[in-house]
């Protein structure tokens, strides 16, 4: 037996690998949480109630470029693609290669692109895909547990990449994200969804049309 085969068999025996194999999408999601707990907002994917409420404010006929931070295993990706216009584009950004690989293997829609990188680099990533701006940016990143300086950098970069009239959509379990958003977004709407584990705070930060 070759060294590579031995290594592959050993990998299959690890608890995390067995978990993702046995439980599919849930296993991948939980494994990602174990690997990067500070970058994953919850151990359980968002409920359909959170998804519908977050996306209801989007003017889909005006949305061509939609960006998501921290997509995980794609809980929001399907609903966004279902609503996105035919000439639209969904770019998702995640720091975990496990999630990026999973999404690229399981979502075949030509409008979809998964990128390994930081949300703080959203301007560079959007430009690298031939776009000048984003119409909407969605984030479930846990701003309260991100490393120092990362949250403010993401909020600032998001404001810059959005077109005037666009919005930063954020769902969180704490209100910390609003503090970062308020530095750049003068108009922030708030909501709450109890039908989620745990209950979730919702924010929509609108970029001034005059920006």
- Please state the domain extents for the chain: 1-35, 40-206
- pLDDT tens by residue, 5-50: 333 333 334 444 444 444 466 555 555 555 555 555 455 678 999 9
Q: Which runs of E-coded beta strand occur in 10-52?
A: none
N-term to C-term CA, the chain: 63
Per DSSP, the residues of 116-182 read ES-GGGHHHHHHHTT-S-EEEEEE---GGGSPTTHHHHHHHHHHHHEEEEEEEEEEESSSHHHHHHH
Q: Which fold has domain 40-206?
A: Rossmann fold (3.40.50)
pLDDT at 13: 41
pLDDT at 2: 44
Main-chain dihedrals φ then ψ at residue 133, nearest 5 degrees: -160, 175
In this prediction the pTM is 0.81
- pLDDT tens by residue, 137-177: 999 998 888 888 999 999 999 999 999 999 999 998 888 88
């Amino acid at each position: 037996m070759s060294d590579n085969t031995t290594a592959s068999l050993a990998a299959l025996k690890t608890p995390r690998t067995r978990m993702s194999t046995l439980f599919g999408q849930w296993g991948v999601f939980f494994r990602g949480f174990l690997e990067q707990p500070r970058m994953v907002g919850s151990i359980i994917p968002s409920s359909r109630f959170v998804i519908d409420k977050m996306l209801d404010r989007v003017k889909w006929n005006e949305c061509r470029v939609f960006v998501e931070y921290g997509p995980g295993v794609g809980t929001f990706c399907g609903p966004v693609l279902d609503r996105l216009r035919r000439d639209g584009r969904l770019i998702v950004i995640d720091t975990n290669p496990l999630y990026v690989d999973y999404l690229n293997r399981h979502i075949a829609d030509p409008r979809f692109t998964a990128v390994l990188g930081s949300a703080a680099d959203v301007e560079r990533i959007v430009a690298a895909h031939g776009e000048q701006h984003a119409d909407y940016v969605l984030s479930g990143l846990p701003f309260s547990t991100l490393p120092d300086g990362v949250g403010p950098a993401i909020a600032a970069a998001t404001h810059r990449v959005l077109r005037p009239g666009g919005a930063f959509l954020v769902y969180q379990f704490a209100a910390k994200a609003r503090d970062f958003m308020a530095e750049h977004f003068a108009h922030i709407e708030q909501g709450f969804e109890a039908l989620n584990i745990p209950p979730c705070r919702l924010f929509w930060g609108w970029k001034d049309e005059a920006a």
